[in-house]
Chains A and B, each alone.
Chain A
Amino acid sequence: MPVKRTGFFIGLLVAVLFALLPFAGESYYIQLLTVIFYWIGLAACWNLMCGYTGYIDFGSAAYTGIGAYVAGIIMVRSGLPLLTTIPLAGLGAGVIALAVGWPTLRLRGAYFAIATFALAEALMQVAEEWTGLTEGGIGITIPQRLEEFDYYWLYLFLAALVVAITWWVEHHKHGYALKAIHEDEHAAAQVGINTHTIKLKTYVTSAFFIGMLGALEGSRLGYFKPDDVFDVHITIKMVIMSLLGGMGTVLGPVIGATFLQLIEDYLGAQFLNFYLVIIGAIIVCVIIFLPRGIVGSTIERLRLKFRRQP
């Protein structure tokens, strides 16, 4: 069996093992893992677009927010069951991603970073001000909730799915095209890659999954305000998790998200502001000293070590 496929099956096995874990009894770890899977899902979505193409989305929280609000408003207004609103939330996020990506992905990466950054801020303000639709700053209460274990399984499933998509992309023509765009977009276009379409497809896919995750998290919280689900710190965490693990690698976001979430579990609650100062310092150091992240730098070292002699 080729090495590629072995990796895939090991991953699948690990996911199945984690899926069986709740049968061993409820514990503190299930809750911690639920949150970790949520963040692996988000970081993997971010990595799928930004890690592979090099186009940086600084407003991914826009899609968790849209997801949470689309699902929440539909549930409140029409009483549709929670699980049917989740894909709708994904679609809502996907449509906005299409509208934002269409003009900006044609331009230099800087414009994309700027537009997405401003998008999240603007949407948060709209959610604050459009009180007729969103209840504004009073917040919205979600009438339905799943069982604790259901969130565990759904987050595990979505995270595994996005990582599997990333794996597929990595070993497929689509992934080569994305990497080519990252290296040199002009050259990629010259060898016949339709760079705009392929970036747009990836971006919309990533937003679709972020929207679904955001909708689920909204219902798990039960009650939220615009600045909870459009919070800039959601984006920050997605960026840092991918960056720490290694952007443009399959396992990078998995390792980065687990690592950061565990640190935050210990440090974050006590010193929120200092925590952010430290996170800022970590970003600066990673960029300067470890630009390929934990996984990326390790792979590079292994490759150098085991390179076949010519």
Chain B
Amino acid sequence: MSMLIIQSLINGILMGGIYALYSAGFSLIFGVMGVVNIAHGDLLMLGAFITFWMFIGLGLDPFLTLPFSVAGLFVLGYLMQRLAINRVVGAPPIMSYILTFGMHLMISNLALVAWTADPRAVTTAYSGANLAFLGLTLPWIKLITFLISLGVIGLLYWLLNHSQTGRAIQATAQDREMARLTGIKVDRIYALTFGLGAAITGLAGSMVVAFQDVEPGMGLPYTIIAFCVVVLGGMGYIPGALIGGLILGIVGSVSTMLFTSGWSIAITFFLLYLMLLFRPAGITGKGIVE
């Protein structure tokens, strides 16, 4: 029993890396623009499908498809922001929720029409390979996705704090008008931010194929998980996504092992509720509450 719990802790931590990665994108978009992106899980789904089709159609190794889904989702995110969401950034926040809700409907149902609801698996020659010790198993492929996730979150954090563009993004988040006065093209920064958030979400989507089958309806649960992750870690605070992601991965995995996956969603919500009740700014207390 204790071995089972340790094994599910390990699985949870590995899954938590993915959660943290795409939730960092969600958090970035919220922190900079105040947009709650309800279509976020659908971007992850698109990333997963890019990997699936390149793997099936071109026979590319799933890890080699990562740059394509990063690039593809960056362009899509940039355009979504540039063509639609930019128009509602200054408007009351509800407009952006409803707008991204409409995008969620469009993306997920177009995918359903195009690809049907069949779950599809990406199975490579090395999918089953794992590192076994003390009766525990550590699948190599999941371990690699975990390390990539950590690396990319670190890279994002570094970019935001040390590059010219990153500092422009932060300035825009803090004060839109002051940023404009200093010569920052705010619209372009917004589009870039959304593109960046979408790109790392596409990356997470490409790697999620190591954990589950690909299907058009997979996005929505991931959106809900992203909500919980960023509330746990603090809305708009990037390193918080890492903490929130790991916690949620562990909670999800352990509660699925002890009960069923249905209960694990209910428990996740209960956790979210407790956080909102007692510590809305997240565990670190650095989230945006007002």
Contacts of A128 in B (CB 8 A): 262
Is A121 a contact of B269 with CB atoms below 8 Å? Answer: yes
Task: Bits for B258-273, please: 1 = Cβ < 8 Å to A, else 0.
Answer: 0110110110111011
B93-106 CB mask vs A (1 if < 8 Å, else 0) is 11101110111111
Stretch at the interface among A23-31, A99-107, A256-264, A294-302: A99-107
The B-contacting residues of A in range 64-112, CB under 8 angstroms, are: 100, 103-104, 107-111
Please tell me which stretch of B67-75, B83-91, B120-128, B191-199 contacts chain A, meaning at least 4 of its Cβ atoms lie within 8 angstroms of it.
B83-91
Chain B residues with CB under 8 A of A232: 220
Interface status of A277 (Cβ within 8 A of chain B): yes
Q: What's the Cα separation between A236 and B101 when bound, in Å?
A: 9
Asked if B269 and A114 sit within 8 Å, CB to CB, the answer is no
Minimum distance in angstroms from A188 CB to a CB of chain B: 14
Is A276 close to B, CB under 8 A? Answer: yes
- With A110-B34, A239-B98 known as contacts, the answer to whether A276 contacts B105 (CB < 8 A) is yes
Measured between C-beta atoms, what is the minimum distance from A265 to chain B in Å? 19
Q: B30, B102, B221, B290: which contacts A280 (Cβ < 8 A)?
A: B102
Residues of B near A54 (CB, < 8 A) are 92-94
Does the CB pair B113–A274 fall under 8 Å? yes
CA distance A243 to B97 in the complex (A): 12
Docked Cα-Cα span, A113 to B97, in Å, equals 8
Question: What total of chain B residues lie within 8 Å of the partner, measured CB to CB?
Answer: 50
Docked-complex contact A287 and B276, CB < 8 angstroms: no
Residues of B within 8 A of A113 (CB): 36, 94, 97
Counting chain B CB atoms within 10 Å of each CB, which of A232, A239, A280 scores highest?
A: A280
Within 8 A of B (CB), among A246-299: 273-274, 276-277, 279-284, 287-288, 291
A236 in contact with B105 (CB, 8 Å): yes
B290→A277 contact, CB < 8 A: no
- Decide: A291 near B91, CB < 8 A? Known: A111-B276, A118-B269: yes
Contact assessment for B269 and A122 in the assembled complex, using a CB-CB cutoff below 8 Å? yes
The segment from B141-149, B227-235, B246-254 found at the interface with A is B227-235
Closest Cβ of chain B to A144, distance in Å, is 29
A45 at the interface (CB under 8 A from B): no
Contact A107 B30 (CB under 8 A): no
B277 touches A (CB below 8 Å): yes
- Given A109-B93, A111-B280, A277:B87 Cβ within 8 A: no
Given the known interface contacts A110-B34, A277-B105, A277-B106, the answer about A103 and B98 at a Cβ–Cβ threshold of 8 Å is: no
Question: How many residues belonging to A are interface residues under a CB distance threshold of 8 Å?
Answer: 44
Q: Does A16 touch B at the CB level, under 8 Å?
A: no
In the assembly, what is the distance between CA of A123 and CA of B269, in Å?
Answer: 9
Q: Is the CB of A121 within 8 A of B265?
A: yes
Partner of B224 from the list A104, A107, A121, A276 (CB cut-off 8 Å) is A121
Query: Do residues B91 and A273 form an inter-chain contact, with CB atoms below 8 A?
Result: no
Nearest A-chain residue to B110, judged by Cβ? A277
Contact check, B36 vs A114: say whether CB atoms are below 8 A apart. yes
14 interchain pairs (CB within 8 A)?
A: A103-B277, A103-B280, A110-B36, A121-B224, A122-B269, A129-B262, A276-B109, A277-B109, A279-B102, A280-B102, A280-B106, A283-B99, A284-B84, A284-B102
Interface residues of B (CB under 8 A from A): 30, 34, 36, 38, 84, 87-88, 91-95, 97-99, 101-107, 109-110, 112-113, 220-221, 224, 227-228, 231, 235, 259-260, 262-263, 265-266, 268-270, 272-273, 276-277, 280, 288-290
Q: Told that A103-B277, A281-B102 touch, could you supply 14 new A-B pairs with CB distance under 8 A?
A: A54-B94, A107-B276, A108-B93, A109-B93, A110-B36, A111-B289, A114-B227, A118-B227, A129-B260, A129-B262, A236-B101, A276-B105, A284-B106, A287-B88
